[in-house]
Amino acid sequence: DAGITQSPRHKVTETGTPVTLRCHQTENHRYMYWYRQDPGHGLRLIHYSYGVKDTDKGEVSDGYSVSRSKTEDFLLTLESATSSQTSVYFCAISEAGSNTGELFFGEGSRLTVL
């Protein structure tokens, strides 16, 4: 199994509080991604990174920011959590080259915003 660790795995927070989710990989893969998964919507890309300090927005990036200061770590921050951000968040990694669509996913972080 790919070495991807997400933390925390479960979190309950209140509206308006900041939240940071961490993704750590031991595979030295270039690309890292944050997805959210919601019933009726499937997996949607929030942000992704194609290298250290190189990040870009996905399709549902509003209200989220990311940082990647090291190859192995990709942080997702909710500056001021809202109930609409209650979801399961998955980090994924992939190698560079023609197989960049072959993603390896972390175990997920379930976030509840009250």
Partner 1 sequence: QKEVEQNSGPLSVPEGAIASLNCTYSDRGSQSFFWYRQYSGKSPELIMSIYSNGDKEDGRFTAQLNKASQYVSLLIRDSQPSDSATYLCAVNGNSGGSNYKLTFGKGTLLTMNP
Least distance to partner 1 from the beta carbon of 43, Å? Answer: 4
Three-point CA angle 12, 103, 82, nearest 5°: 25
Strands 87-94 and 73-78: unpaired
Least distance to partner 1 from the beta carbon of 71, Å? Answer: 16
Binding residues (CB under 8 A) for partner 1: these are: 31, 35, 40-45, 48, 50, 58, 90, 94, 98-108
* Pick 11 or 15: Cβ nearer partner 1: 11
